[in-house]
Amino acid sequence: MILPDWMLEERPEVTKVGKNSFLIRNRHHLEALIQKFETHPVPVASIFHPTTKVLLLLLFLFSVGISRNLTVLWILGLVLGFGVAFLPHSVLVRTLKKTILLLVFPIIIYLPHLLFSGGQTLFLLRLPLIALAIAYYSETSTISEMLAALKGLHFPDLILLQLDITIKYIDVFGKQLMDLLKGIEARSYGGNHRFQIGSNVWGILYLKAIRYGEELTQAMEARCFVGEYVKSSRSFTWKDWFALVGLVVVILGQILLGG
């Protein structure tokens, strides 16, 4: 079938420029940002207990935060880099991209001090280590593992439930927002849309949130979910204790030796 010439002609897409079309004009950037924080299946099995991974992350961040010695930061960076280097290629790429994304906001905040006062070398070295550690944990752990780890640390079930729902709804409503913006953009070809994006989109999302909340309640009742989370069925091994004790010894050494 041969299409007529007017259907084969390429025309540039025109999107109305104005305050009401800000989200549409930046939809692709917003979509890319949401995709970076999507939960991906973890292709590698961790040798550590989920609770150990959370404790190691917290202790590592604490150690980096109190460190005043370049040698200690260098050693911590080597240990973290050793773990990152053995990640599969796809996970490694996502980890590095998320690290860069996590560094953008702190650097922007710190930039005036860096330009006018020269900044601090240790602070600039801490930022990549902290961002890389957080990105590494988020890419090698699932939400269920994190919740099981927090349950192992005796976090209340109410907090775990709120955290679980919040994390899942960020992804759900992010995709809902993208679908709404795509629909508005498809109907505004040529720059003729009259949809008040700033108010109507958020109103629609609010109504969807209420409806999804009711459906979620019904689904939890149907599955006899009573809001109780369980600990991980795995048990601590010598590797968990070795890693935790080793990092605690490093922190005690930093405190006693002044960083």
H, E, C per residue of the chain: CCCCHHHHCCCCCCCCCCHHHHHHHCHHHHHHHHHHCCCCCCCCCCCCCHHHHHHHHHHHHHHHHHCCCHHHHHHHHHHHHHHHHCCCHHHHHHHHHHHHHHHHHHHHHHHHHHHHHCCCHHHHHHHHHHHHHHHHHHHHCCHHHHHHHHHHCCCCHHHHHHHHHHHHHHHHHHHHHHHHHHHHHHHCCCCCCCCCHHHHHHHHHHHHHHHHHHHHHHHHHHCCCCCCCCCCCCCCCHHHHHHHHHHHHHHHHHHHHCC
Integer Cα distance of 126 and 105 in angstroms: 15
Mean pLDDT, range 201-225, rounded to an integer: 80
pLDDT value of residue 195: 55
| Residue 190: pLDDT band with limits 50, 70, 90 | low
CB 33 within 8 A of CB 174: no
> What are the structure tokens assigned to 72, written together?
């200690």
Mean pLDDT, range 127-147, rounded to an integer: 88
Contacts of 216 (CB under 8 A, 6+ apart): 165
pLDDT of 25 over the 80 cut: no
The b/e string for 72-86 (b: 16+ C-beta within 10 A; e otherwise) is bbeebbeebeeebee
Average pLDDT over the chain reads 79
CB 216 within 8 A of CB 165: yes
Name the nearest CA neighbour of 173 among 204, 145, 215.
Answer: 204
CB 102 within 8 A of CB 135: yes
Give the model confidence (pLDDT) of 141-189 as tens digits: 888 888 888 888 888 888 888 888 887 777 777 777 777 777 777 766 6
Give residue for tokens 């079309």. Answer: 21
Give the model confidence (pLDDT) of 73-129 as tens digits: 898 999 999 988 888 888 888 889 889 988 888 888 877 777 776 657 777 888 899
Between 27 and 125, the higher pLDDT residue: 125
Q: Is the pTM of this model over 0.85?
A: no
pLDDT of 252 over the 50 cut: yes
